[in-house]
Amino acid sequence: MILRKLREFLRDESGNSLVTLVIACIPMVYILAMIISFGQAFYGVQVAMNASAVGARAAALHSSAASAYTAASEVAKDYTSRAGMGVSFEADDLSYSTWSRKEKFEYSVTVKVKTAMPMNPYGNGIRESFTPTRGCPAIIEGE
Amino acid sequence: MKLIREIIEDETGDGLVVYFMLMSVISFMMLCLMLNFMNWNSERNGLQIMADSASRAGTVAISKSYPIRERNGHGLADYHVYTELNQAEAGDLSDLVIDSYTKKLKLAEVTKVEKNPIGGFTVPVWNSKTFQYDERSISTQKQYKNGNFSVLVEGKIKSIWPGLLGVKEELDVEVYSQSAARGKVTDIK
């Protein structure tokens, strides 16, 4: 009796739409994950860009490279810590030649974007994290 | 397999095919617009950061500061004008920043840079009688002497999939930034 009912259930066509939905769900979820990850990565680039700008502005006021780097890192870390959306501070770099007034330098920031829906079944999917880097040039103002 | 073949071969999907094609075109248009808006916003933000850094760089070219005495409503007052800016050097320093930044631009290009293009700013000056900063309008000629430096950058941002579905090939943008050189006040009475 039970087996017959089960067989009927398996053979009837009432689950057509459900099967179609299940098949369609896989690419839909993947597309959703792509949209979310793309948004996160794009936001991460913006955060890195702005963090490097505020860091460079803080660094420019200092008279020594060491204190400039410390100040820039502090500001950039503070900025990225408030960014949200899975974005966090990863690394930074201060490039200069001698650190003297009116000389050009560049402060760059790398952020880590942890994707909300990583899907990487075959090695070429959505990665678990992105690390965009952006830099901002500025002129040293410190005496 | 039989079930799938039946679904494919029946005629219930006629409307779905038309609907799917229509939705695909609309989705593609929306995707194209979204990507372009994101790109324009991102590149414009980059150009604004460049202009901010360039205008700030210009204010570093300080040569000297001096006090001036002017009559106001309470009598004579000493206004300490902050700094005198070396116009040529300020331009060179801002060029350093702009050149460095433009090398990294991918979908944007800088077409024109004007330094200090707009006159008649109102800048705060120190009033030693009232011990506070007063707002005072200054002329374009005096603008450099008071340590203000502004940069107007005109550029073009290339579109993604240009010419497709009415998207312009390039978008003209204009960013402006002004910085005031503060500090360096000497000879305060």
Cβ contact B53–A106 (<8 Å): no
Best of B39, B50, B56, B94 to mutate (most A CBs within 10 Å, chain A):
B56
Cβ contact A138–B45 (<8 Å): no
Task: Kindly indicate whether the ipTM for this predicted assembly is greater than 0.90, answering yes or no.
Answer: no
Task: Tell whether the model's pLDDT for residue B187 goes beyond 50.
Answer: no
CA B114/CA B55 separation, integer angstroms: 11
Per CB-CB distance under 8 Å, the chain A contacts of B96 are 104, 137, 139
Q: Going by DSSP bridges, is the β-strand pair B62-72/B108-115 parallel, antiparallel, or unpaired?
A: unpaired
Place of tokens 């597309």: A31
Among A57, A106, A139, beta carbon nearest to B93 = A139
Amino acid at B178: Q
- Give B27-57 pLDDT, tens digit per residue: 888 888 888 889 999 999 999 999 999 998 8
- Give A70-107 pLDDT, tens digit per residue: 999 999 999 999 998 899 999 999 999 999 988 999 99
Cβ contact B60–A102 (<8 Å): yes
A77 CB contacts (<8 Å, ≥6 apart)? Answer: A89
Per CB-CB distance under 8 Å, the chain B contacts of A97 are none
pTM of the entire structure?
Answer: 0.75
Q: Which residue of B has its CA nearest to A15?
A: B3
Neighbours of B127 (CB within 10 A): 18
Closest CA to B131 of B92, B80, B175: B80
- Give B109-155 pLDDT, tens digit per residue: 899 998 876 554 555 666 667 777 666 655 544 444 555 788 999 99
